[in-house]
Structure 1
């Protein structure tokens, strides 16, 4: 009789599990220790599905009556403190999390129905972060046969761990797939990067010949996985893979000088062609086109005429790109800060709250504009140490700091604490306008002007020309 009761109990549990999977509802809740804002945002791809406010106990709750199964992510925090992590949902899941923002990823724990796959993905993420340091410092220096052996050993270990999880918990087909994608594309990405990283790490002038079968996995690469468009391991692989294919294509058919790209316009137009021919999924194609545009416009620092040729080609291939306004704004911003043009007439405020334009600040003198934020204390310390060094060595320049994304009280307190000259410190009136007009990338960039005309808008405080 006890046996019959046991079997009945198991059947009831199985029935409950089946009902759970049939239910369209998803419950997602948790506690955030040391919150850096009062909200949590839930995304599917780049679309916000919902937001939830933290209560007095720093807890949040999402009750989703229906949800598209698959990968999502949640975000918490503001500005430079904004962080995200992935969460995988299936219908009927009831997932709870707990994390401490001081160690956002390391402290995160999932519990409840659907926790197994999410804890496994999180563990992979944390382990991959540690392994990446070893691969960058050691593995990329190895000869290709040894590198391939080590990489495959690491990948095999992860797949064995996944097999064990499947045998213990019985993951669904979708859960198994996302775990395999995470493992495989992470290591495929290292293989795509290897020839270039090996050359850089070893100081060799040519790319190393690779053994047969090194890229065998390419036969099974999918360019049309809609669910993975915003998943970092997959997207990072796509960028590296297309960069590799473009380089090899140019090296074979177009020619490169000393095995290095010298004609950035040609190379990036080649990459646009490759994406256009290989990628069918529209959102992935748009995202990859955007990546090429930003990489070229920001990093190549090409001539104004070449930038114009590129943007015309971009519009021909991707006129309806979902990022078209962002790319157009970047192009216009870069065009407006070319040498000999006047610095954009953006307004900032001084410590007394008076508004003044950058052109007025830069008039009749040589100025170096640099940028900082109160959210990054270490950078604040480093940048002003550098300003003190340069101010002594380059007395003909006035070094002007422009703060962004810091409240007035904190900003003024940091100026006073560091004993900065308040007459050379300003704060952005509109951060988005400032970023768009001056193209603040990378964060340690500076803009050199003379009599309000730009000398160099694409250098940094640590560049050799200083």
Structure 2
């Protein structure tokens, strides 16, 4: 608290000099220590409303003439966080990108609510750790009691905040939903986490009262679409319903998740039947499509899935992105040619990936200089593989790293310069090779793909 007081006082002094708002306008500004981008972008939902460039003091400001009360989010690449704004607000923030969320402080109008929402966001990780360390192993009644105690404790804090700050109905609704859906999500995943934690074979039978909160679920609330606890709950809830529905009606046992196509068809049908709000429907459909396509790479199954997806959600706002993912996976099946992407060598010359993999067995792996732990682990694994499987040539493709920094890292680890390359077009690389997860590698033979979805830590080739 002592450390926060000088920050709060400085923000309050600056806020005193903020422009006077009309009843309908909003002033949103702040200071970013150790900026990672020149800009801050303000969003309402998925739409960018405006961008502001940092000045010489790393400060930014937005003056919006007219806004709807509700949840917004601001992006300072690569991080983002949400902010609640109402007509007439003057809101200031200060943060240090080295500890983005932890250092964020709001001041000005609605500062109590915004700091409260941030507190819930930060506490979610602590609560999740508590779930995994202690609570998921509890039996049903004890687990329900513990979760309900935690939920009521946060609701009491919200009631106190409401008494002091007199929140609007919309603000109170969003704050309450942030609490409720955080804890409802844990009840949705409990059956599976409990079974996994105790290494049990079967799921428990659950009394109807365990899911009593489901009677109050709002599947069509526009104010909550981009509230993270609400959206995370929806994903877990739909996964739980899909699993149980399929187990009960399809003649399957608890192993239905092995048939990912069948399981995800249930998810599509449930979203279609339960969710009417267009933007939420589109986002949830997209989540199902990406989760399925990134995990299942069988051409025939994917074709069945994408046809079903287009039938149910053909007007999805994400349809082009999903179609590109589907086509990208289809283009890197076994015996397909290595995609003709040009990369940059250590001597700054361009060379194509087919040329690099011609007349040899090769393994392409991927890394970024922004994640030291990841690339150090990858490099260590590559050295192991060179000893275990010397018949392959191991080719590193770097992205999102400043060229001089990339060369410094490569030289530090004493890699052969002829085996290291980088790209400036991360977007194209990602779409072409479907870079998920980041431990993936692509195995080739004479410029033809053997396995585009291998993992560098597996020993399956």
TM-score range, shorter chain: over 0.9
Equivalence for 1:341: 336
**Cα distance, 1:202 vs. partner?**
1.2
1:47 maps to 2:47: yes
TM-score norm. by structure 1 comes to 0.92
**2-structure distance, mates of 1:323, 1:212:** 36
Relative distance call for 1:368 and 1:464 in structure 2 (3 A) is: same
After superposition, residues 346-361 of structure 1 pair within 5 angstroms as: 346-361=341-356
CA contact (8 A) 2:338 2:449 kept: yes
1:435 maps to 2:430: yes
Equivalence for 2:29: 29
**2-structure distance, mates of 1:148, 1:339:** 48
After superposition, residues 50-69 of structure 1 pair within 5 angstroms as: 50-69=50-69
TM-score norm. by structure 2 comes to 0.93
Equivalence for 2:16: none
Q: Spell out, residue by residue over 1:37-91, the C-alpha distance to the aligned partner (whole angstroms, 9 max, x if none).
A: 11111111111111111111111111111112100011113xxxx1111100011
1:197 maps to 2:193: yes
User: Which of 134, 149, 152 is 2:130 aligned to?
Assistant: 134
Equivalence for 2:235: 239
CA contact (8 A) 1:205 1:259 kept: no
**1-structure distance, mates of 2:447, 2:54:** 47
Equivalence for 1:411: 406
CA RMSD of aligned residues (A): 1.4
After superposition, residues 103-142 of structure 1 pair within 5 angstroms as: 103-142=99-138
Q: Spell out, residue by residue over 1:114-164, the C-alpha distance to the aligned partner (whole angstroms, 9 max, x if none).
A: 111001111111122211111122211111111111111110110011111
1:384 maps to 2:379: yes
**2-structure distance, mates of 1:455, 1:381:** 26
Equivalence for 1:101: 97
**Cα distance, 1:258 vs. partner?**
4.3
After superposition, residues 12-411 of structure 1 pair within 5 angstroms as: 23-77=23-77, 82-301=78-297, 303-411=298-406
- Count of equivalent residues: 442
**Cα distance, 1:22 vs. partner?**
7.6
CA contact (8 A) 2:246 2:256 kept: no
CA contact (8 A) 1:347 1:429 kept: no
CA contact (8 A) 2:29 2:61 kept: yes
Relative distance call for 1:241 and 1:258 in structure 2 (3 A) is: closer
User: Any runs of at least 4 consecutive aligned residues in structure 1 with deviations exceeding 3 A, and if so which?
Assistant: 257-260
What secondary structure, in the 3-state scheme, does the structure 1 residue paired with 2:294 have?
Answer: helix
**2-structure distance, mates of 1:414, 1:154:** 46
**2-structure distance, mates of 1:318, 1:329:** 16
**1-structure distance, mates of 2:388, 2:322:** 38
**1-structure distance, mates of 2:253, 2:340:** 41
**2-structure distance, mates of 1:202, 1:448:** 37
**2-structure distance, mates of 1:430, 1:280:** 38
**Cα distance, 1:465 vs. partner?**
2.2
1:448 maps to 2:443: yes
Equivalence for 1:424: 419
**Any unmatched runs of 5+ in structure 2?**
1-19
Relative distance call for 1:144 and 1:50 in structure 2 (3 A) is: same
What secondary structure, in the 3-state scheme, does the structure 2 residue paired with 1:317 have?
Answer: helix
User: Structure 1 stretch 118-127 or stretch 261-270: which is displaced more?
Assistant: 261-270
CA contact (8 A) 1:145 1:211 kept: no
What secondary structure, in the 3-state scheme, does the structure 2 residue paired with 1:280 have?
Answer: coil
**Cα distance, 1:334 vs. partner?**
0.5
**Cα distance, 1:464 vs. partner?**
4.4
